């Protein structure tokens, strides 16, 4: 006999749940004429072994070739071969629908396929481990909560296809290699789906209508695409995968998507929903593609991603009625010329970041290069565009909005204008775009082109102004105000290219309408270049007298090297502003404030200090 008798026997016995379980032996090479299923006299066909085996017994199959169209498994048993390469079963294994909730396991052999039921339902757990299959296809209509599938460490020559109309059992595919697609499909799905650590030489498809479970797709290598389609869906956890041609998630309603630390070789991450909350897209790397997300309402955070695009798609594109933050991403696109559209309608422009939203949270701390725009935002209102670094785009920032704060951004070396501040044409002819502590320098067009109105420094309001706008090829500030606007545009306390009021008025600021009856710029007082300019001098910032993590309170201290407007805030992990600890103009010196975390949930928070034209962020952890 060719069995590794003692080693295999010890392994099987260690897996047997009951001491009275038997081992039935099969060896195709037994030609003695004496067969009783013992180790000394094994059966020479699988059919003979299956005919006498009882529940919880093991069928141990020696190396060889075994022929039959299909084998019906009518008992809850274990079937084990010697090797997936040399124990060759030229047929299928089919589980009987009459089985109970004890498991059936198949390991260490080759077969064409395994099916969970010979009819329309099953409640039997199925474990397939260390096998080689031509394909794995199961279309059992109804699967009970006990009818789970564990498909582990197998090689599948073609594809894996699991399709159930109703499934309450879990389905797990782990450490496998396939020559084609992996598909898991269900009309009603209530058992978790786990696809982990696989080499998939094709696509992964998850297709459901109503899903009350969680999908875990983790650490797979996928040569083509990952696609999740659903009408109503519970959470999706998609982490640490290498994906060849992109990721797409589509659902009407989804209650949680976490897309973390994936690498997409060529293609995009796309999400399309009616309503989705929450969504976190964090730490992904796109080598040639973008992130595109659309929803009517979405609590979505797109953070810490590295995105490279050849210019065929925007780096990050978000379309939603309300909700969303985009922060701490690094995005690289080639330079793209202007589209010829006005800012208010240019939503199809390819940009490093493009947002079209009625109410939008903000765009913070991104490092952006290239595109027709570094940032394009069309929104009725937005909490702000802050602390972004933008270079080599055609236009650094293009705004079509009514209300937005533009704070502490650096816009340099763009081919066209540094910023275009436009009207939101559907709403009206007034807005409250407020700019403070921005640096707009060395751009090929105008520094800031105002098509309507903006506050670049308002008398008595320390929340605006202190911008550095200089050395641009056009005017530092160029106005294209409409005939209906006769208000003053305040641009106080800024640094311009020139240093006297007469020179600034003649060379740095220009009214394109050249009409005294229209809006005029009030730009004095102003800060002369090189005087009282603390921009770029980073303040010292630390947590003091407490550990980090801390329980309920901390002392936060900072040192200002020069007088500056200061803002100290606490944000949660999704970027929500939870507390303002300090705000206002402060003289040089040392400062401290208490941070009381009583009543705040445990978790990761960010303490953000804006001062001296820079921002310093420290991560803090609150534990309970």
Residue after which a domain boundary falls, among 133, 156, 176: 133
Handedness of CA 305, 306, 309, 315 (dihedral sign): positive
Q: How far apart are CA 327 and CA 309, in angstroms?
A: 18
Q: What is the mean pLDDT of each run of 10 residues along the chain (624 residues)?
A: 39 47 94 92 95 96 92 96 96 93 96 92 96 96 94 98 93 97 93 95 93 91 95 85 95 82 96 81 96 83 95 95 89 94 88 91 93 93 88 95 88 96 61 85 94 75 79 92 67 88 88 68 70 51 62 82 81 78 82 85 81 76 75
Q: How far apart are CA 311 and CA 293, in angstroms?
A: 18
CB 225 within 8 A of CB 267: yes
Tell me what pLDDT residue 526 has: 77
**Contacts (Cβ under 8 Å, ≥6 apart) of 181:** 159, 160, 161, 200, 202, 203, 204, 205, 224
* Residues 177, 103 share a domain: no
CATH number of the domain encompassing residue 588: 2.60.40.1930
Whether residue 523 lies inside any domain: the answer is: no
* Residues 436, 401 share a domain: yes
Host domain of residue 461: 309-469
* Residues 350, 331 share a domain: yes
Whether residue 444 lies inside any domain: the answer is: yes
Tell me what pLDDT residue 110 has: 97
Whether residue 479 lies inside any domain: the answer is: no
Beta strands, E only, 87-159: 87-95, 104-107, 110-111, 113-115, 121-122, 126-129, 132-133, 136-138, 142-143, 149-152, 155-156
Q: Report yes or no on whether pTM surpasses 0.85.
A: no
CB 523 within 8 A of CB 503: no
**Count: domains in the chain:** 4
* Residues 416, 377 share a domain: yes
* Residues 128, 170 share a domain: no
Q: How far apart are CA 171 and CA 156, in angstroms?
A: 16
CB 95 within 8 A of CB 70: no
Whether residue 502 lies inside any domain: the answer is: no
Tell me what pLDDT residue 561 has: 79
Residue in the structure block whose two tokens are 């999704």: 574
Residue after which a domain boundary falls, among 303, 338, 358: 303
Whether residue 544 lies inside any domain: the answer is: yes
């Amino acid at each position: 006999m060719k069995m590794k008798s003692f080693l295999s026997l010890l392994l099987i016995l260690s897996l047997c749940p009951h001491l009275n379980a038997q081992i039935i032996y099969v060896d195709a090479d037994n030609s003695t004429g004496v067969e009783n299923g013992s180790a000394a006299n094994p059966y020479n066909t699988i059919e003979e072994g299956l005919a006498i085996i009882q529940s919880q017994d093991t069928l141990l199959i020696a190396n060889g070739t075994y022929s039959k169209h299909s084998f019906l498994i009518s008992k809850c048993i274990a079937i084990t071969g010697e090797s997936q390469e040399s124990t060759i079963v030229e047929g299928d294994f089919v589980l009987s629908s009459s089985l109970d909730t004890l498991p059936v396991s198949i390991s260490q052999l080759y077969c064409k396929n395994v099916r969970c039921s010979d009819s329309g339902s099953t409640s039997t757990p199925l474990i397939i481990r260390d096998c080689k299959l031509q394909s794995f296809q199961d279309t059992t209509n109804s699967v009970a909560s006990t009818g789970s599938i564990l498909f582990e460490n197998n090689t599948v020559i073609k594809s894996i296809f699991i399709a159930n109309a109703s499934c309450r059992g879990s389905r797990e595919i782990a450490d496998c290699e396939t020559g084609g697609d992996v598909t898991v499909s269900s009309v009603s799905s209530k058992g978790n789906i786990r696809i982990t650590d696989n080499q998939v030489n094709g696509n992964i498809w998850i297709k459901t209508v109503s899903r009350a479970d969680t999908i875990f797709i983790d650490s797979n290598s996928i040569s083509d695409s990952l696609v999740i389609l659903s009408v109503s869906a519970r959470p999706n956890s998609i982490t640490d995968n290498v994906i060849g041609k992109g990721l797409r998630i589509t659902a009407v309603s989804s209650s949680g998507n976490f897309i973390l630390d994936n690498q997409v070789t060529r293609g995009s991450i796309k999400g399309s929903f009616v309503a989705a909350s929450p969504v976190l897209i964090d730490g992904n790397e796109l080598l040639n593609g973008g992130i595109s997300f659309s929803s009517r309402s979405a609590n979505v955070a797109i953070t810490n991603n590295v995105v490279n695009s050849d210019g065929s798609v925007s780096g990050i594109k978000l379309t939603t009625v309300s909700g969303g933050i985009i922060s701490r991403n690094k995005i690289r696109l080639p330079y793209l010329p202007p589209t010829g559209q006005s800012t208010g309608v240019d939503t199809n422009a390819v940009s490093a970041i493009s947002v079209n939203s009625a109410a939008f949270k903000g765009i913070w701390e991104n490092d952006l290069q290239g595109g027709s725009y570094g940032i394009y935002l069309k929104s009725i209102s937005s909490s702000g565009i802050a602390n972004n670094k933008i270079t080599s785009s055609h236009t650094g920032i293009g705004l079509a909005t009514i209300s937005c704060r533009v704070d502490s951004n650096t816009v340099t070396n763009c081919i066209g204008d540094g910023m275009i501040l436009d009207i939101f044409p559907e709403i009206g002819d007034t807005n409250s775009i407020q700019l403070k502590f921005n640096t707009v320098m060395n751009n090929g067009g105008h520094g800031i082109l105002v098509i309507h109105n903006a506050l670049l420094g308002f008398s008595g309001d320390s929340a605006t102004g202190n911008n550095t706008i200089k050395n641009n090829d056009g005017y530092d500030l160029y106005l294209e105000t409409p005939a209906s606007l006769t208000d003053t545009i305040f641009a106080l306390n800024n640094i311009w290219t020139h240093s006297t009021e007469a020179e600034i008025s003649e060379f740095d600021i220009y009214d394109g309408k050249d009409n005294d009856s229209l809006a005029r710029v009030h730009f004095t007082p102003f800060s002369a270049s090189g005087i009282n300019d603390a921009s770029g001098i980073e303040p010292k910032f630390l947590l003091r007298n407490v550990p980090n993590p801390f329980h309920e309170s901390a002392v936060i201290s900072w040192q200002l090297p020069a007088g500056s407007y200061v803002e100290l805030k606490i944000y949660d992990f999704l970027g929500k502003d939870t507390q303002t600890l300090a705000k206002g103009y402060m003289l040089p010196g040392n400062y401290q404030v208490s941070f009381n975390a009583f009543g705040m949930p445990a978790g990761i928070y960010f303490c953000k200090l804006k001062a001296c034209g820079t921002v310093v962020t420290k991560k803090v952890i609150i534990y309970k």
